Amino acid sequence: MTAETFYTFKPRDKKGNPYDFEQFKGKVVLVINTASKCGFTPQYAGLEKLYKSLRADYGDDIQFLGFPCNQFGSQEPGNDDEIQSFCQINYGVTFPILGKVDVNGDNTDPFYSWLKDQKSGLLGLRRIKWNFEKFLIGRDGHVINRWASTAKPEALKEPILEALGVKNSSGGGSTAEGEAGAKPEPKSDESKPKPDEPESKSEDKVESKIESAAPSAGPDSQSKSNSTTSAVASKPEDTSSTTESQPETQA
């Protein structure tokens, strides 16, 4: 079967019904051939995490599609229902897992024949080498990139963002740094008066206390020094008078 774009195909879903790729026109799609008993099976967790993150930010502009295959070490022996249960129970997979397919050989699914024609693998090899190879489909319905099984899901984020037309994180990072660098300056300017204000207020309070205390020591004094002197001078007289009067009172 010959097809110009990704949208021409209608592979079988988990129930055996045609799954029309026309619904993904203008979107970016990641395609993975999967298996439940493979050393790379834990990649389901990373794929699901990446999928949820991208969907949260870009909605249905991005889609992941899993295609179970039993051609590599017989590592996907279950039927479609068993595969669905395994993915959901063990990894909480929410992206579509379609029906089992062959990706190599005489019974290769037409969709996978097209994928391999679009993008060869390492050293120009056309065939799928193992489980969890990945193909990235662009908004125009053509394959942008292909990765081997060893490519970790988190490493696919930047290429997917580029396919979505999103600026790479390095550009965003420099902007964020610029904003962060600009913020401390106004904060430091605003904070300068704040430490000084309590100090000036405390000095005013001390001075007011001294001034208020000064008149109470000597009502007739007009200066702080005179009031202090009169207060000191009056204390011995008061003390002596008190001392002298005490014996008389006791007697």
State pLDDT tens for residues 81-104: 999 999 999 999 999 999 999 999
In a domain, 198, yes or no: no
State pLDDT tens for residues 144-185: 999 999 999 999 999 999 999 987 654 443 333 333 333 333
In a domain, 16, yes or no: yes
Range of the domain at 50: 6-164
Lowest mean pLDDT among 51-65, 68-82, 137-151, 210-224: 210-224
In a domain, 125, yes or no: yes
| C-alpha span between 63 and 29 (Å, rounded) | 5
The sheet carrying 134-137 orders its strands as 62-68, 28-34, 134-137, 143-147
User: Residue for token digits 């099984």?
Assistant: 149
User: Residue for token digits 């930047």?
Assistant: 158
Q: In terms of pTM, does the model score above 0.85?
A: no
Q: Which of 38, 93, 101, 143 is catalytic?
A: 38
In the DSSP assignment, the letter for residue 106 is T
Is 69 annotated in the active site?
no
In a domain, 44, yes or no: yes
From residue 15, how far is each of 21, 27, 63 by CA, in Å? 16, 24, 19
Q: 123 or 57: which carries more pLDDT confidence? A: 57
Query: What amino acid occupies position 242?
Result: T
Do the strands 134-137 and 62-68 form a parallel or antiparallel pair, or are they unpaired?
A: unpaired
In a domain, 87, yes or no: yes
In a domain, 124, yes or no: yes
CATH number of the CATH domain containing 75: 3.40.30.10
Tokens standing for residue 52: 């949820």
| C-alpha span between 33 and 40 (Å, rounded) | 11
State pLDDT tens for residues 11-47: 999 999 999 999 999 999 999 999 999 999 999 999 9
State pLDDT tens for residues 177-214: 333 333 333 333 443 333 333 444 444 443 444 344 44
In the DSSP assignment, the letter for residue 105 is S
Quick one: which of 25, 97, 14 has its CA closest to 6? 25
Residue 217, by phi and psi: left (phi above 0), alpha (psi -120 to 50) or beta? alpha
3, pLDDT greater than 70: no
| C-alpha span between 90 and 87 (Å, rounded) | 6
> 128 near 109, Cβ under 8 Å?
no
Q: 3-state secondary structure string, 173-189? A: HHHHHHHHHHCHHHHHH
In a domain, 141, yes or no: yes
In a domain, 70, yes or no: yes
Q: 153 or 227: which carries more pLDDT confidence? A: 153
**Could you give the number of structural domains in the chain?**
1
Residue 232 has a pLDDT of 39
